[in-house]
A and B are shown apart, each in its own frame.
Chain A
Amino acid sequence: GAVVSQHPSWVICKSGTSVKIECRSLDFQATTMFWYRQFPKQSLMLMATSNEGSKATYEQGVEKDKFLINHASLTLSTLTVTSAHPEDSSFYICSARGPSGRDTGELFFGEGSRLTVL
């Protein structure tokens, strides 16, 4: 149980275009999902906390107009990188608290999405 699926796993886009990444909890309801960004050989950097039915909470320094997050249902959160630029190229990872995660903080992760902006 507690499977999180992320799509696409790999995307290339042209500079100036927008890209949407989906994160789905397949066998549980996730009221809270987290979006991370990871640079090569570095740790995870939390970008925002996505709450179902309400606005996402962004970490300091993360542009909310650039990284649009929508959590419209209990099983789906989306991250849209708007007007992408080469510096947005990175590995983006979503995660969700599992059924027991509300108390423990344990997270279940999607496969990650590699974004390359040309």
Chain B
Amino acid sequence: AQTVTQSQPEMSVQEAETVTLSCTYDTSESDYYLFWYKQPPSRQMILVIRQEAYKQQNATENRFSVNFQKAAKSFSLKISDSQLGDAAMYFCAYNAGNNRKLIWGLGTSLAVNP
């Protein structure tokens, strides 16, 4: 069965610094998709970044980038130049496509200190 593990329940970072959130997953599929979602205090889930497993290049979205290690089944999220608005719960999620449902990690609560 596919699983997603986020081993850091809580993290903190100083404003303007860089933080990395870890995520590992387990699957026997070769083609799949990985996501990082952000849930701020407003509770609305927002997609941060998406990675297709067949792409070797790591996805980036402005200050957000991933380190995708397919062989190690690792998918970490790096937030550069952290801002106060980055404070939120971050969820890692996996999907094998073909209309299957998302598999979610337990989340990492990120605090940004001014």
Contact = CB atoms under 8 A, between A and B. Distances in A.
B95 interface: yes
Pick the 9 closest A-B CB pairs, nearest first. Answer: A105-B95, A109-B45, A112-B43, A43-B106, A104-B33, A43-B104, A111-B44, A43-B107, A103-B97
A21 to B, nearest CB: 14
Contacts, number: 58
A109 B105 CA distance: 17
A32 interface: yes
A97 B97 CA distance: 11
Interface string B95-112: 111111110111101000
B87 to A, nearest CB: 14
Interface of A: 32, 34, 38, 41-44, 46, 49, 91, 93, 95, 102-112, 114
Interface of B: 33, 35, 42-47, 50, 52, 89, 91, 95-102, 104-107, 109
B52 A104 contact: yes
B102 A105 contact: yes
A107 B44 CA distance: 12
Contacts of B98: 103
B44 A34 contact: no
B71 to A, nearest CB: 22
